Structure 1
């Protein structure tokens, strides 16, 4: 099958062009500002040599910003002490050997955007004292603090719903409605994406339970009923069943909290027995959640002496971790330039592990782009076709639309939405709960 071309900034009318021309340089500029403001503190913490390390990182950012603006060729990485560099450089070298032009505006969008964040990591990796500094940490934490009222509302209701003793057999309809609530709150939490805003604050200021009612009509594909029935039919609420879910997380801050609320609900109502939470290995796409972000969030909840609602949730989440019901993992595949159709080839152990799950929950726009290859599919292309063979198990994408790629939508429906909102594919105001259910084979049964 001939595949459509990749999304690329070669098309000046595309969101890829807008991203590379405007958003990426702005993100790099914010890192320069972060380093300039904090280099004195770093010097006090790690010694005067850190002043020069900050200067080297600033110089690297200035060079990166210049190369993006001038559409310079993309070069091989050179921080040789990292375990992913050979995969990155083999990928880039293969592209070069095929005679392809690899530059910011001429190459595929997925590659160059991922490459920018890996180049940012390279600058910090090449220092002795700043390797573990997250240049986006202030932005992520500010977004969390700006959302405290919404956090109060969600956690208060979650604690009530979980403390209620609800028999899954006799109260299926109650659990089903709660399932929809927490899935949709997790979905719309994906609007808090700092890479979309270039690092500008995107906090959650409204009551999420009220918001999901208002935004119901903005969910263009909604498979949540099928998903609830799929999980309910696994009968995880019967104690002798082991039903594992993988949750590939997206943004830190408020979105991460909403994801953990959904994960807490699934465990507490025994719709599954174990959840593996996948985080990024290093700072990625501005606000993507790392293990450090996860630990920081739990610390904020547990140390909030004036807010018992936060402490109750934190204690329950710590128990999930301690008893093995929440498993925290990072894997380098999620910060490679490859889309998911390459997972079995590049990271066979991850693919094998995910194949054991009953369901994978993918959060966010980047995961969607990687699932469909970031290609210019027709709007009405079948989701299964766009996956190009990636079928480890059944999965769902909870995504607010922030890139000009979407499948499984009728062309007439797409035209009607475009009349209402010409930028519906990229502004994060529309969403999908889009599922793929793997057909069972004799081997699976």
Structure 2
């Protein structure tokens, strides 16, 4: 893979990465502070983190943590001057330290983002989306599968019915919502294959469609086994952990109608090993997948297909760099140890695999905003 494109930093005022570091991270600190009745120790640590991440420099982590993930090369540098992917990840690791997540005290293992995750799971919108599964059951199996892929792709913008997009309308639209659509290639790869790895993104209303898709693929023999990769600890506010998978499965099993059937089938698949949850440490690494360790590379290399969900996983898959949007997806993922697919709603600047005409139409209609607004998506496959 060519490394000619520059790594994205967060030090350009007015840029999207700069706004995340300067505005989003301080806002997240305040949200976490208000979500729990933390004591003085946590409040002092959150104050110190706010000061550090906006005006300070990278400092050592307790116990030599992250030595293997390059922290030594960034010590003493501004948070804005190191790779943005690294800096963002470092912020969430620091946030967990501040609230005592890794400590020996009573706040050990308490997810600071759990209240917002549960509120989303219990929302009326989730009820509506699960009720829509009753209508989905009347469709032919192939159409169900296609609708569930779109549900997984759009997550909580799945339009309440995992509704099939109007393919003809997409073609007519000068600025399509789906900027790359390799869904036919994806469908052809999911044809009675062995193991599917799905690397999850967010919890709540975005994890449920992922689970529904896995249930469908397992039930209809499109895959024999599935491995769901989640984060080993809370990360990027809403990223899914094992606890979030359990909450989502409980939510499905308790639901009326077809949703409960999906939940029971998934529960049974966990029990007999057809569905496994994996929480590899590298899932929270501040590094691209090109740097994955040998054990993970071997595991993924043994899968028939790996599907990566969401924006952060896409940045890690192709490398968080200023690629020209027409850079071939196959070139950017040539290192990946097996067939790979990306289901991603665009929420950051990185994108590959567009044709020049689509890029020009998007730029003309929206400037750079199409890259970060979450209103466009892609399905990309490298067999």
Per the normalisation by structure 2, the TM-score is 0.91
Which deviates the most, 316-325 or 246-255?
316-325
Of structures 1 and 2, the larger Rg is shown by 1
What's 1:126 paired with? 103
Give the match for residue 273 of structure 1.
224
Shift of 1:372: 1.5
Structure-2 residue corresponding to 1:184: 150
CA distance in 2, matches of 1:321, 1:159: 23
Q: What is the CA distance between 1:282 and its match in structure 2?
A: 0.6
For 1:245-256, what aligned pairs fall within 5 Å after superposition?
245-256=196-207
Counterpart for residue 173 of structure 2: none
- Of residues 181, 202, 209, the one that matches 1:258 is 209
Hey, what does 1:195 align to over in structure 2? none
CA distance in 2, matches of 1:248, 1:17: 27
Match runs of 1:41-120 below 5 Å: 54-70=39-55, 72-78=56-62, 80=63, 86-88=65-67, 91-96=70-75, 102-120=77-95
C-alpha distance in 1, partners of 2:305/2:381?
10
CA displacement 1:313-356 (0-9 Å, x = unmatched): 2211111111211111111101011110101xxx2111101111
Distance 2:42 2:216 in 1: 42
| Superposed displacement of residue 407, structure 1 | 0.9
Distance apart, 1:102 and its partner CA: 2.7
Query: Does structure 2 conserve the Cα–Cα contact (< 8 Å) formed by 1:397 and 1:435?
Result: yes
| Structure 1 position 151 matched with structure 2 position 129 | yes
Counterpart contact for 1:150–1:206, Cα < 8 Å: no
**11-20 or 208-217, which moves further after superposition?**
208-217
Aligned to 1:224: 183
Instruction: Tell me which of the two structures has the higher relative contact order, counting C-alpha pairs closer than 8 angstroms and 6 or more residues apart.
Output: 2
Q: Which residue of structure 1 lines up, in the alignment, with residue 327 of structure 2?
A: 381
Q: Is the 8 A contact 1:395 1:436 kept in 2?
A: yes
- Partners of 1:213 and 1:27 in 2: CA distance: 37
3-state DSSP of counterpart to 2:94: helix
1:90–1:427 Cα change, 3 Å: closer
Taking the aligned partners of 1:315 and 1:58, their CA distance within structure 2 comes to 42
Deviation at 1:273, TM superposition (A): 0.5
Of 369-378 and 146-155, deviating more is 146-155
Partners of 1:298 and 1:266 lie apart in 2 by 17
The alpha carbon displacement at 1:308 in A equals 4.1
| Native 8 Å contact 1:360 1:395 kept in 2 | yes
Which of 258, 270, 292 does residue 243 from structure 2 map onto?
A: 292
Q: In the alignment, which residue of structure 2 is the partner of 1:326?
A: 275
The answer to whether the 8 A contact 2:199-2:306 is kept is yes
Quote the offset at 1:27 in angstroms: 0.7
Larger mean CA deviation between 283-292 and 411-420 belongs to 411-420
Conserved? CA contact 2:229–2:280, under 8 Å: yes
Q: How far does residue 368 in structure 1 lie from its aligned partner after superposition?
A: 0.5
Alpha-carbon offset, residue 156 of structure 1: 2.2
1:362 to 303, 308, 315: 308
Aligned residue for 2:51, secondary structure, equals: helix
Are the counterparts in 1 of residues 133 and 161 from structure 2 also a CA contact under 8 Å? no
CA distance in 2, matches of 1:206, 1:229: 25
Is residue 139 from structure 1 mapped to residue 116 from structure 2 by the alignment?
Answer: yes
Instruction: Tell whether the 8 Å contact from 1:401 to 1:424 is kept in structure 2 after alignment.
Output: yes
Question: What's the offset of the Cα at 1:95?
Answer: 4.0
Distance in 2 (CA, whole Å) between partners of 1:144 and 1:311 is 15
TM-score (norm: length of structure 1): 0.79
Unaligned runs of 5+ in 1: 40-53, 162-173, 193-203, 237-241, 438-445
**In the aligned structure 2, how far is the partner of 1:205 from the partner of 1:384?**
27
Question: Residues of 2 paired with 1:90 and 1:256: CA distance?
Answer: 27
- 1:48 aligned residue: none
CA distance 1:211–1:19, shift in 2 (3 Å): farther
Q: Retained in 1: the 8 A contact 2:147–2:164? A: no
Structure 2: gaps of 5 or more residues:
171-175
- The residue aligned with 1:424 is 370
| Contact 1:301–1:311 (CA under 8 A) maintained in structure 2 | yes
Size of the alignment, in residue pairs? 372
Secondary structure of the residue aligned to 2:223 is coil
Instruction: Show CA shifts across 1:207-266 (max 9, x none).
Output: 23347449953111111101112222xxx2xxxxx6110000011111110001111111
Q: 1:88: how far off? A: 4.1
